[in-house]
Amino acid sequence: MDRSRALELLRQVSSGALTPDEAVQRLAMAPFESLEFATVDHHRALRQGYPEVIYAEGKTPAQVVAIAERTLAHGGSALATRTDAATRQAMLARFPEAVANDVARTVRVGAVAPKAKGRGTILIVTAGTSDLPVAEEAAESALAMGNIVGRLNDVGVAGLHRLLANGGALQSASVVIVVAGMDGALPSVVGGLVACPVIAVPTSVGYGASLGGLAALFTMLNSCAAGVTVVNIDNGFGAAAAATRIVARDSAQP
Amino acid sequence: MDRSRALELLRQVSSGALTPDEAVQRLAMAPFESLEFATVDHHRALRQGYPEVIYAEGKTPAQVVAIAERTLAHGGSALATRTDAATRQAMLARFPEAVANDVARTVRVGAVAPKAKGRGTILIVTAGTSDLPVAEEAAESALAMGNIVGRLNDVGVAGLHRLLANGGALQSASVVIVVAGMDGALPSVVGGLVACPVIAVPTSVGYGASLGGLAALFTMLNSCAAGVTVVNIDNGFGAAAAATRIVARDSAQP
Amino acid sequence: MDRSRALELLRQVSSGALTPDEAVQRLAMAPFESLEFATVDHHRALRQGYPEVIYAEGKTPAQVVAIAERTLAHGGSALATRTDAATRQAMLARFPEAVANDVARTVRVGAVAPKAKGRGTILIVTAGTSDLPVAEEAAESALAMGNIVGRLNDVGVAGLHRLLANGGALQSASVVIVVAGMDGALPSVVGGLVACPVIAVPTSVGYGASLGGLAALFTMLNSCAAGVTVVNIDNGFGAAAAATRIVARDSAQP
Amino acid sequence: MDRSRALELLRQVSSGALTPDEAVQRLAMAPFESLEFATVDHHRALRQGYPEVIYAEGKTPAQVVAIAERTLAHGGSALATRTDAATRQAMLARFPEAVANDVARTVRVGAVAPKAKGRGTILIVTAGTSDLPVAEEAAESALAMGNIVGRLNDVGVAGLHRLLANGGALQSASVVIVVAGMDGALPSVVGGLVACPVIAVPTSVGYGASLGGLAALFTMLNSCAAGVTVVNIDNGFGAAAAATRIVARDSAQP
Amino acid sequence: MDRSRALELLRQVSSGALTPDEAVQRLAMAPFESLEFATVDHHRALRQGYPEVIYAEGKTPAQVVAIAERTLAHGGSALATRTDAATRQAMLARFPEAVANDVARTVRVGAVAPKAKGRGTILIVTAGTSDLPVAEEAAESALAMGNIVGRLNDVGVAGLHRLLANGGALQSASVVIVVAGMDGALPSVVGGLVACPVIAVPTSVGYGASLGGLAALFTMLNSCAAGVTVVNIDNGFGAAAAATRIVARDSAQP
Amino acid sequence: MDRSRALELLRQVSSGALTPDEAVQRLAMAPFESLEFATVDHHRALRQGYPEVIYAEGKTPAQVVAIAERTLAHGGSALATRTDAATRQAMLARFPEAVANDVARTVRVGAVAPKAKGRGTILIVTAGTSDLPVAEEAAESALAMGNIVGRLNDVGVAGLHRLLANGGALQSASVVIVVAGMDGALPSVVGGLVACPVIAVPTSVGYGASLGGLAALFTMLNSCAAGVTVVNIDNGFGAAAAATRIVARDSAQP
Amino acid sequence: MDRSRALELLRQVSSGALTPDEAVQRLAMAPFESLEFATVDHHRALRQGYPEVIYAEGKTPAQVVAIAERTLAHGGSALATRTDAATRQAMLARFPEAVANDVARTVRVGAVAPKAKGRGTILIVTAGTSDLPVAEEAAESALAMGNIVGRLNDVGVAGLHRLLANGGALQSASVVIVVAGMDGALPSVVGGLVACPVIAVPTSVGYGASLGGLAALFTMLNSCAAGVTVVNIDNGFGAAAAATRIVARDSAQP
Amino acid sequence: MDRSRALELLRQVSSGALTPDEAVQRLAMAPFESLEFATVDHHRALRQGYPEVIYAEGKTPAQVVAIAERTLAHGGSALATRTDAATRQAMLARFPEAVANDVARTVRVGAVAPKAKGRGTILIVTAGTSDLPVAEEAAESALAMGNIVGRLNDVGVAGLHRLLANGGALQSASVVIVVAGMDGALPSVVGGLVACPVIAVPTSVGYGASLGGLAALFTMLNSCAAGVTVVNIDNGFGAAAAATRIVARDSAQP
């Protein structure tokens, strides 16, 4: 409810085009609209490719299906993360067109046309095969948000030649999400190789003093490559959301 | 040294246009050029606005000045971070045109024309006045990398109205860097208000169980606003570098 | 055995109304009574609305039922927390009038008439739906202690407008219990909005570096809103007991 | 800007009593007024006895004096915490009527008439003499907020008889602030003795595995006395603010 | 192999009573005997009442039974700790005279006559009922080592009168083992009440920030009562062994 | 105030030998006397050799001297720990007969005749020379409490032969205090060699991941030698107090 | 592709012995060969006795078998670690000649002739029987890499005589791997007894404050025996790989 | 005193060549000699190039000089680590031929002829210039132990090409010591490039969440390159000792 819209509304009241009662109905929304700069933008952000995201952990299959039904009624697409097998089965039974990913533990429903013209590719890189579940959660989330996604797997720093042999893919990415557990060293190396934004995702992969991913997390926070940012342990969805915030800017510009 | 360039070189040898000895000189560089995709790009990244950065902690004023002289000879600009008063004085004595910032503990030398056309503004937000040193380090670093910088200070969550009153500045930013100590709650709030990338910087401000900034760090990693990324405690420079990786993409596009 | 009662007893001995042997029988209880200021008060506190609380974790259903029987024989009401489904079933089978709350994992037995005249409302606020089990434990405990309870759910800081739209409920509360996991940022925001006591309850909700609730705990301890206090992780019962200590003062005053 | 006030304004526009331009001026304030419930209340809270608080750590004596001058111009009183000796001297030089407390490291300026009618006493209890600086910060802060303050020092659990001998003081308190370092056991004991609210303040006193106060902090969070709440390590000011939130309710009630 | 015994052996060789080959057999044991001061004593310690202790965690019932059979063949008694139900059943089937304690998760076999004349009583005190498993492990272990054991349960600091009412038992103990979880405050109080040795055992009882017993452990290490010592979390057996080291000294003295 | 004393007092009232008012004065002390079992014993413990202990950290030399003067007036001896050089100088100036120990940072005043007949020796063992300050604090404290003290220095586990060569001293000790930093391995070895009580004192000696003594502390808590107990990091005084609790039992027995 | 080999190739092109197209095929490998110093060496390292290692945790039996089939096709041998019973069964069904070790949770396939001539023995020492799974993983891994392996079990520091009685085995080892949980003290003792390399492996054995092996880990890092190195908790495989890096040097030398 | 030497001695007694009294004199040393395998070897290890090492932290310059004098009298060489400037000056004043290294904070005295024939080179690699003090301590220590030392500085993973350009040095090393702070990623990369032993040294370089080197330590323990071992934070001396244990084996072999 910016000044010009408010003035317009008041003029309609002044001219009799709107009764005070009709006007107050509109103003009733004003407290929200006065915050709308936030919520409108928030909604715009969501509409730029985020389906409603359902965090399935701790919810029954029936609950997830019910929320997805409601979400689809409004938005046309839905994404559930951290699902178990039963939930994925229930979702597929209800929405035969859904895409379930057992590694990522996600289900997507509703066709998401790639809106990513001009956005370039979000490249998701893993250090080892055991980082795949987190990487796949990032990939599925990024796809659900309308992005183009590339993958580069199992290129950890103990075998540098595998990474270096894929220089082309790294160079042509718009954003690189690097998923790594154990020593979490890969984002530092990638951050030194590319100029684009690098988002590091520590995983809880490892044993002994991996501390459930804290070791990798601290490695990444202390990255000697300037400008690497970090999200929470195993948070593939969060990395995808951060990457989308970045690439969405391009397509949003006139 | 891609296939076509290599074939061309070999044909020149085959045709006698190049002697084997001349050819081997060129191939001698091949191991590096085969990695050049990285280093070239890395250099490109640096040339997009990064002056050579001198981390001054543990160096004498004389050492910092000496490194700055060498840097300026090559690149035309230099940035020193974590300087003490003596170092800033020594730098100003040697480079009268330098810009020293006592709060940020930085010195910049060499005019950096804003290259930020099309990049938009990097907005640096602080929760409290004691977060200023880190925020100023971020600001000085971002300026040194050729960006346009905005500031929004002392808008912590215990007085929400101050933040909400500045919706316009938040909405028009390209990237928001949120600097906060103590409870580190501000990035979650900002992340819910804007659609653009949000980089959170925990500071070591606080006492008691602030754990030298770890409390704020973990708050930020667990942000309930999707897509907020985090850099190391007090790492204003790192946040600026990450923000520059993001905004540099815009101006780099044709 | 305060001074006046002791003097009275001694006068009875002096006057011959009491033999020394009879008097010493009464004094035999004195060591306890000399501490009675504590125990009497402690009992008074409990009688101000606390039923006997049974912490059910690690107890069999039969044990919980047996303790509840004994408690009801003395006090007329009982509350069991951290019950599993089997215990709740056993309690309902034995006490058909009991109120079992599956989310809170509590069972209340015995009618507790709201003693809360003049106490006002204890408002329980959650950041997200997954904080509900802890919030419900707080609510059930507060109800069992004779309070009036209000609820405000899912108003986390990533969507501030939901919280701000409920200003009225916040303003009219006597005490606000804020339950939040993940970044634990909500109590700081609420603490800035209201003048009444705010009790923060961190929950173990979250993943990655939520550290089983420690991240939220430290956020809350470092709250930038002055005068927010904290109880242990997931300790809904403790928050309710603390709130009751506060509101009970009002109704206890002449 | 509630519904009835908005309708009234619109009717004035409709009737011509107010031009659209005049009306929009009033509505321009609406976004703030829609939040006013918060800020008004926040201000009310502050006006209920909080002087402006100046956290002096990291500020020069001159800066503290300057802020105090401004604060006094508006509010009539000021409190500076965490001051060093030089700052206290500077404050006393500028404000000869100021009250400086070397143990608490505070300076209060401006007469604060006890507003605490009906509030009862805030009793501040310490386990040992080395907890005094934190306890004194709590006491000075509570006094500055218009409260009546009692003190009970050096009654740690290793010599229970000292605590039990002061049953009367404990019983007559409205709120008890318990300050303890080392094993942090005192709040559990006090919490079992009294029915009123108990706020525990861990101190960084101790050596070895006291972990800078974390040991005492965790003891207090795990208190076996129900309803004890905790503030941050060494946070005497925070405990006083929390106690004031509690007792201010009494005097605020009609 | 002390000097006199060595001389004797050499004289036997010199006199022909022993051949060099026979003597070398005896000397082959010399490296052990040269350490015998240790091992003899160690054995003496064990013989002072320690049966062979079998830590059952990670062993099958059959393995525990087999070890117990071997132990009994040599020493006449056996103690198994951390047994599961199946192991206790298997032990009782094989040794019908065994004493199984389901709470302590121990099985004792072989009659241990109390050797504790002059040793006095080892008093085992618990803060709450949930500390019982650890306290019972301590009690069973102490009994198996030939001690007289007393018990004082559920006398935590939140209800001091229960503890103070048992002053006699505390005063007459030779050693007090204090078992407490949650805030771990009880050993400090007991340490202030008695002059005899106090051994504190933290338990992993609690939730939230009890950190699996670390909170109680650090409380105890920081005990403000001088001369309280601590064993590992949940280590009832260790506390009993330490107490036996203490009381065994009395009966061992001429 | 036991039964017979109470009866006697009441008989005096009954006979008129005491007025009720006089009697109530005596009973006023009853709450204390009802706890006297504790305090009497506590005093007895102190009188068994503990001088009043002054923890000097954070106190001025003048304050320490003043407290010592008062202590000496009552008890004839005093011990100050954690003194700095200035405090030791001030103490020696005031009490020329005092014994100052620069390594231990202690000052003892007042002749303490060894009361240790029948107590045997408290043997203090160190792993390395840098553990000496803590060991000396233990030794001085033990001496001040009237014990006989033995020393065995620099016998860490990396050179076992030094320890094994001193079997005699170990075997003849009544209690062994083992002081060790770095890996903290020595108590486990000593605990396996002797049957008497072993008290482990971790020191903050070390660098890198010694974590200020936490590494040694945890080693000791996890000691594979049964019955080793632990006191806080660097707490030489506490170890001496614990050892005195043990050996005092012998001489206290008829 | 070093200079001389490149020159030779170019001369062949110059002389017509090689067409440019044939040459480019060879050069196509150059980027890799330019890194080949690494990969060749890496391969050499692997060929010196490392079979392909399959980390089985999180893989299905079928997946492990499939990877082993592929590995055997190329290398003739395979090692799977962290297998469960089902995987070991599946491996034995598919490869009847495989060696499965239930304690180590490993399966080896393919005959590995000891290449260890001149390498000497890798001695694997355990503190207690519960360290066996990790020690056996180390042993199986070392065997799979072509080493000669010795074992010395249950020689923890609480019974030093057992360790000292095996001086011969210790002295004749080329490398000693010391596996220990709980207090982790054994590597310090062994490090003081032998001159050869000592690799310490902390295990997660223990309870209470063993912190899942962190206590033992920190003990070992702080070892007072100079030159002891450490691998991750429970990482038997890693210790074997480190030992093989050491002993392989001997046989690799001309 | 092995079997054959003992038999020989006994035969001499049997034949009368030795009296029992003479024989017992020799056996008197047996307890030590029976351990001598250890001490002899330990000495041998030391004689293989270790000068007596003086840890100077906490010692006065005079003390360090005095110890060095004694050491030189016996062994001909001495090494002091962690010296301050005053100590280095005092050492140079007393031993003009000493070699002081200000960066490493070491002083070496006494010519150490390289004994390293056949040992190859110990290559010390640093990630950044701020790791130099630790690397130099390692280098000075390794030199003092008679090794040949190589250096490769400032080759951190953020600029991989610098490391890869030095493949030759890496390939020809016998042992590589990798010194790195911040993210500690370099050892993983080096471990993947070379086949020889790799010893990782975390440094306390960094800020924020580097946790005083713990972040780098955990990275290294979790290295994804098999067979990398780790020493304590900043422990350059320890790494050199470990490397010497490895290379000394070569020259020690016949």
User: What are the tens digits of pLDDT across the range G30-70?
Assistant: 433 344 343 333 333 333 445 568 888 888 899 899 888 88
Q: With CB atoms and an 8 Å threshold, state whether A209 touches G204.
A: no
Name the residue among E161, E209, E210 with its Cβ closest to that of C32.
E161
Instruction: Work out the average pLDDT over C200-215.
Output: 86
For an interface test with H, the pick among F161, F183, F211 (most H C-beta atoms closer than 10 Å) comes out as: F161
B78, pLDDT greater than 90: no
Confidence grade of residue E194 (pLDDT, cut at 50, 70, 90) = confident
Chain A residues within an 8 Å CB radius of G214: 209
**Residue F22: inside a domain:** no
pLDDT of residue H124: 97
Instruction: Work out the average pLDDT over C208-231.
Output: 90
Neighbours of C, requiring at least 3 CB pairs below 8 Å, are A, B, D, E, F
pLDDT of residue F145: 87
Instruction: Give the integer Cα–Cα distance in Å for F138 and F140.
Output: 6
Q: With CB atoms and an 8 Å threshold, state whether G235 touches A208.
A: yes
> How does strand D78-81 pair with strand D106-109?
antiparallel
Instruction: Give the integer Cα–Cα distance in Å for A14 and D18.
Output: 9
pLDDT of residue D10: 79
Instruction: Give the integer Cα–Cα distance in Å for G154 and G167.
Output: 14
CB atoms within 10 A of CB G252: 14
Instruction: Work out the average pLDDT over F163-174.
Output: 83
Instruction: Work out the average pLDDT over H27-40.
Output: 40
pLDDT of residue D175: 96
Same structural domain, H60 and H148: no
Name the residue among B221, B226, B232 with its Cβ closest to that of A222.
B232
Same structural domain, H132 and H236: yes
Q: Which of D161-170, E196-205, G201-210, H119-128 has the lowest mean pLDDT?
A: D161-170
Same structural domain, A138 and A90: no
Confidence grade of residue H75 (pLDDT, cut at 50, 70, 90) = low
Strand ranges across the sheet with A99-101: A52-55, A78-81, A106-109, A99-101
Same structural domain, G142 and G247: yes
Task: Please name the residue of chain C whose CA is at the shortest distance from the CA of residue A233.
Answer: C208
Instruction: Work out the average pLDDT over C23-42.
Output: 45
**Residue D216: inside a domain:** yes
CA dihedral F51, F57, F59, F60 (to 10 degrees): 100
Chain D residues within an 8 Å CB radius of E215: 215, 218-219, 221-222
Task: Please name the residue of chain B whose CA is at the shortest distance from the CA of residue C159.
Answer: B192
Chain B residues within an 8 Å CB radius of H161: 32, 35, 38-39
Name the residue among E3, E10, E30 with its Cβ closest to that of H13.
E10
**Chain A residues within 8 A (CB-CB) of chain D?**
1, 3, 6-7, 10-11, 13-14, 16, 19-21, 23-24, 27-28, 30-31, 34-35
Give G176-232 pLDDT, tens digit per residue: 999 999 889 999 999 988 889 999 999 997 777 788 899 999 999 999 888 999 999
pLDDT of residue H248: 82
DSSP state, F225? S
Same structural domain, H126 and H86: no
Q: Which of C72-76, E111-115, H224-228 has the lowest mean pLDDT?
A: E111-115
Neighbours of H, requiring at least 3 CB pairs below 8 Å, are A, B, E, F, G
Asked if residue D157 lies in contact with residue D125, where contact means CB atoms within 8 angstroms, the answer is no
pLDDT of residue C195: 84
- How close, in Å, is residue F169 to chain D by CA atoms? 29
ipTM for this model: 0.83
Helical H runs in chain F?
3-15, 20-28, 30-33, 36-47, 61-75, 85-94, 132-144, 160-164, 167-171, 186-193, 214-221, 236-252
Report for E118-132, F175-189, G236-250: range of highest mean pLDDT: F175-189
Task: Please name the residue of chain G whose CA is at the shortest distance from the CA of residue A167.
Answer: G31
> How does strand E121-126 pair with strand E175-180?
parallel
CA distances to E160, E186, E192, F32 from E164, in Å: 6, 12, 12, 12
pLDDT above 90 coverage of chain E, percent: 46
Asked if residue D76 lies in contact with residue D95, where contact means CB atoms within 8 angstroms, the answer is no
Name the residue among D227, D237, D253 with its Cβ closest to that of C238.
D227
Q: What is the pTM of this model?
A: 0.84
Closest Cα to residue E130, out of E241, E235, E234, E237?
E234
B117, pLDDT greater than 70: no
Same structural domain, E70 and E139: no
Q: Please tell me whether residue B151 adopts helix, strand or coil conformation.
A: strand
pLDDT of residue F24: 63
Q: What is the mean pLDDT of chain A?
A: 81
Radius of gyration for chain G, computed over Cα atoms and rounded to the nearest angstrom: 22
CA–CA–CA angle C56, C60, C65 (5° rounding): 75
- How close, in Å, is residue B49 to chain G by CA atoms? 31
Same structural domain, A81 and A36: yes
**Residue G9: inside a domain:** no
**Residue C229: inside a domain:** yes
**Are F and B close enough to touch, i.e. 3+ CB pairs under 8 angstroms?**
no
**Residue C86: inside a domain:** yes
Closest Cα to residue C252, out of C51, C141, C115, C112?
C115
**Are C and G close enough to touch, i.e. 3+ CB pairs under 8 angstroms?**
no
Q: Name the token pair of H128.
A: 């950044």
CB atoms within 10 A of CB A110: 18
For residues B49 and H110, which has the higher predicted lDDT (pLDDT)? H110
For an interface test with G, the pick among B3, B13, B39 (most G C-beta atoms closer than 10 Å) comes out as: B13
Give the domain-ending residue among F76, F109, F142: F109
Neighbours of D, requiring at least 3 CB pairs below 8 Å, are A, B, C, E, F
Instruction: Work out the average pLDDT over G157-164.
Output: 79
The residue type of G240 is: A
Query: How distant is the alpha carbon of residue H104 from its chain centre?
Result: 14
Instruction: Work out the average pLDDT over F82-106.
Output: 95
Give A89-138 pLDDT, tens digit per residue: 999 999 999 999 999 999 999 866 555 556 789 999 999 888 999 999 99
- How close, in Å, is residue A42 to chain C by CA atoms? 9
Asked if residue A169 lies in contact with residue A241, where contact means CB atoms within 8 angstroms, the answer is no
Q: With CB atoms and an 8 Å threshold, state whether E221 touches F232.
A: yes
**Residue H215: inside a domain:** yes
Same structural domain, D167 and D70: no
What are the beta bridge partners of residue C28? none
Name the residue among A42, A226, A253 with its Cβ closest to that of B192.
A42
For an interface test with H, the pick among A126, A131, A155, A157 (most H C-beta atoms closer than 10 Å) comes out as: A157
Q: With CB atoms and an 8 Å threshold, state whether H19 touches E20.
A: no
Task: Please name the residue of chain G whose CA is at the shortest distance from the CA of residue H48.
Answer: G195
B114, pLDDT greater than 70: no
Task: Please name the residue of chain D whose CA is at the shortest distance from the CA of residue A27.
Answer: D6
Q: Within chain D, how many helices (H) and strands (E) appear? A: 11, 9
DSSP state, D226? T
Instruction: Work out the average pLDDT over C226-230.
Output: 94
Helical H runs in G145-235?
160-164, 167-171, 186-193, 214-221
Query: How distant is the alpha carbon of residue E180 from its chain centre?
Result: 18
Phi-psi region of A152 (alpha: psi -120 to 50; beta: other; left: phi over 0): beta
> How does strand E78-81 pair with strand E106-109?
antiparallel
D35, pLDDT greater than 80: no
How many domains are there within chain D? 2
Q: What is the mean pLDDT of chain D?
A: 81
Give the domain-ending residue among G46, G74, G109: G109
Interface E-F: count of C-beta contacts within 8 A: 122
Instruction: Work out the average pLDDT over A78-83.
Output: 92
Same structural domain, A154 and A103: no
Q: Which of B177-181, C96-100, D67-71, E35-39 has the lowest mean pLDDT?
A: E35-39
Task: Please name the residue of chain B whose CA is at the shortest distance from the CA of residue A241.
Answer: B227
Q: With CB atoms and an 8 Å threshold, state whether A241 touches B230.
A: no
Q: Which of A1-5, B230-234, D221-225, H43-47 has the lowest mean pLDDT?
A: H43-47
Q: With CB atoms and an 8 Å threshold, state whether B245 touches A227.
A: yes
Instruction: Work out the average pLDDT over D63-91.
Output: 88
Q: With CB atoms and an 8 Å threshold, state whether H196 touches G249.
A: yes
Same structural domain, E127 and E104: no
Closest Cα to residue C197, out of C121, C142, C131, C145?
C121
pLDDT of residue F167: 74
A246, pLDDT greater than 70: yes
**Residue E20: inside a domain:** no
F33, pLDDT greater than 80: no
pLDDT of residue C51: 59
Same structural domain, A127 and A240: yes
Instruction: Work out the average pLDDT over E60-76.
Output: 84
Q: With CB atoms and an 8 Å threshold, state whether F231 touches E226.
A: no
Instruction: Give the integer Cα–Cα distance in Å for G116 and G215.
Output: 35
Interface A-H: count of C-beta contacts within 8 A: 126
D4, pLDDT greater than 80: no
CA distances to D212, F206, G85 from F213, in Å: 14, 8, 41
CB atoms within 10 A of CB B19: 14
DSSP H57-72: TT--HHHHHHHHHHHH
* Element containing residue G250 per DSSP (H, E): helix G236-252
Confidence grade of residue G254 (pLDDT, cut at 50, 70, 90) = very low
Same structural domain, A129 and A234: yes
H10, pLDDT greater than 90: no
Asked if residue H36 lies in contact with residue F153, where contact means CB atoms within 8 angstroms, the answer is no
CA dihedral E45, E46, E47, E48 (to 10 degrees): 50
Name the residue among B38, B199, B245 with its Cβ closest to that of A167.
B38
Q: With CB atoms and an 8 Å threshold, state whether H221 touches A209.
A: yes
pLDDT of residue D34: 40
pLDDT of residue A248: 82
pLDDT of residue E24: 63
Query: For the domain that residue G216 is a member of, what is the CATH number?
Result: 3.40.50.1970
Q: Residue A213 is part of which domain span?
A: 121-252
pLDDT of residue A36: 34
Chain B residues within an 8 Å CB radius of H159: 42
D6, pLDDT greater than 90: no
For an interface test with F, the pick among C24, C33, C40 (most F C-beta atoms closer than 10 Å) comes out as: C24
Q: With CB atoms and an 8 Å threshold, state whether D32 touches B208.
A: no
Instruction: Work out the average pLDDT over C17-39.
Output: 56
Q: What is the mean pLDDT of chain F?
A: 81
Give the domain-ending residue among H80, H109, H138: H109
Instruction: Work out the average pLDDT over D22-34.
Output: 52
**Residue G91: inside a domain:** yes
pLDDT above 70 coverage of chain A, percent: 80
For an interface test with D, the pick among A4, A10, A18 (most D C-beta atoms closer than 10 Å) comes out as: A10
Q: With CB atoms and an 8 Å threshold, state whether D14 touches A11.
A: no
Helical pair E132-144 and E236-252, crossing angle rounded to 10 deg: 30
For residues E11 and F42, which has the higher predicted lDDT (pLDDT)? E11
Q: With CB atoms and an 8 Å threshold, state whether D207 touches F234.
A: yes
Name the residue among E42, E58, E235 with its Cβ closest to that of G208.
E235
Asked if residue A213 lies in contact with residue A204, where contact means CB atoms within 8 angstroms, the answer is yes
Asked if residue D182 lies in contact with residue E224, where contact means CB atoms within 8 angstroms, the answer is yes
